[in-house]
Amino acid sequence: MPKPITTTLPDHLARFAEAEVSAGRFARVEDVIEAGVEALRKRQERYDAKVKALDAALEEGERSGLAEDGVFDRVRARHGFAPAR
């Protein structure tokens, strides 16, 4: 069920949202905002999937035993990952 949320947009974003409605791309400003939030959600999902894949690749590399000691720890630290388990 939709949850009502009240917000105030900066002028440039309000003008953009209103222009999208005027152009007929959306029926209401609320629809523009919903599309923006949905786009952010999808972007975050893609980012999370990439991070998960990178973490899995790091774990696989660590298990391979082919890299010099500490290389994966340095990669993890550089990219803000938690230390290896």
**1-35 tens-digit pLDDT:** 888 999 999 999 999 999 999 999 999 999 999 99
Contact 9, 17 (CB under 8 A): yes
- Within-domain flag for 28: yes
Q: pTM here? A: 0.75
- Within-domain flag for 84: no
Tell me: pLDDT of 63 over 90. Answer: no
- Within-domain flag for 25: yes
- Within-domain flag for 2: no
- Within-domain flag for 36: yes
Name all contacts of 70-75 with Cβ < 8 Å and 24+ positions apart: none
- Within-domain flag for 5: no
Domain count, the chain: 1
pLDDT confidence band for 49 (50 / 70 / 90):
very high
- Output 3 or 38, whichever has higher pLDDT: 38
- Within-domain flag for 6: no
Which domain range does residue 63 map to? Answer: 11-78
